[in-house]
Amino acid sequence: MWVRICSKRVHLDFSSCDNLGMIQRLFDIIRQLGGTGLVGLNSLIHIGPLLIIALIKFVLRFKPITAFCDHWLRGLVASWVSVNSWMMAHFTRTEIEITGLPEPDMKGHFLVISNHQSWVDIPVLQKVFNRRLPMLRFFLKSQLIWVPILGLAWWALDFPFMKRYSKAQIEKNPKLAGKDLETTRKACEKFARIPVSIVNFLEGTRFTDKKHETQHSPYQHLLKPKAGGTAFVIDAMSQQLDTIVDVTIAYPKGRGELFDLFVNRIKKVRVHIRTLSIPDEFKGKDYHADPTHRAAFQQWLNQLWTEKDETLAQLLR
């Protein structure tokens, strides 16, 4: 390759592997910064109006005002997800294959459960279910409501805040037993009146080979599901939830994180979806106080996870 600089011919040798690798790394950094910047810009554009409407909802707590604010808040979130999904489709070469996609139902009450392998799981779930199911929400620890700006946004978007007490706290003060479930149930009463999709990653953390080995997991491609946390969600929201949307996410050509998505290292994502009914025998129970319920729930969840492990093996093939 020849270029003319200051009237002199300069030879640039791009045949070296070191040079090619350096150029590729430079392009990757540019793409990462560009992708991060675009997502940040999209968030900045949407967060301003969202916070203004959230503040109005917080100050003027009248039903007509609240309903009006909720409508626009959900619209802003759907718009934010749509723009992110559009960028994923046009600025990356990641292919997403979906099977079992449910019919649109914006008025239902869903518990969305999924395995968790990467932070890419979240934008994938948002892309798959945006404007198809009610806005995806996550259970948050009650302390997070005090996070500046985000706490107000989460509250305005009706994210459920849960109050959990540790075993040590309950042993020190036995009166706290069952209080966390009661408090969370009260916080979730509003979902009887509005559509909701609650997302729960049952493994509690992202899958890695090291975690899999440390856990001695009986599953080939999954970590052990956390029965206590899952049961807590169902116990607290049994009157508001009627359907489980079971999602299995696979990365057959290698998983990665958001930066890998921006530089086209995540070639393919496969998403398998099935819908299930929440068994009636698990509704309105207390997982920690009822040993019979606890054993039955663990058995049901382990069977569900065995089926998911088999599905994941097929998706990876």
Per residue in 149-180, pLDDT (tens digit) is 889 999 999 998 877 766 777 777 777 766 77
| Angle in degrees, CA 267, 270, 276, rounded to 5 | 160
- Please check whether residue 153 lies inside any domain of the structure: yes
pTM: 0.84
Residue 217, domain member (yes or no): yes
Is the CB of residue 199 less than 8 Å from the CB of residue 230? no
pLDDT of residue 285: 80
Query: For residue range 213-232, what is the model confidence (pLDDT) as tens digits?
Result: 999 999 999 999 988 888 88
Instruction: Give the model's pLDDT for residue 12.
Output: 47
Does residue 61 lie in a domain region? no
Is there a domain that residue 53 lies in?
no
pLDDT digits (tens, 9 = 90+) for 131-148: 999 999 988 888 888 888
**N-terminal to C-terminal alpha carbon distance within the chain:** 43
Inside any domain, residue 196: yes
The pLDDT of residue 178 is 67
pLDDT for residue 2: 39
Percent of the chain residues topping a pLDDT of 90: 52
Residue 147 is part of which domain span?
87-316
Residue ranges in the chain whose pLDDT is less than 50: 1-12, 14
Total structural domains in the chain?
Answer: 1
Distances (CA, A) of 266 to 94, 114, 276: 6, 19, 30
Residue 20 lies in a domain: no
The reply to whether 47 falls in a domain is: no
In a domain? residue 246: yes
pLDDT tens figures, 113-124: 999 999 999 999
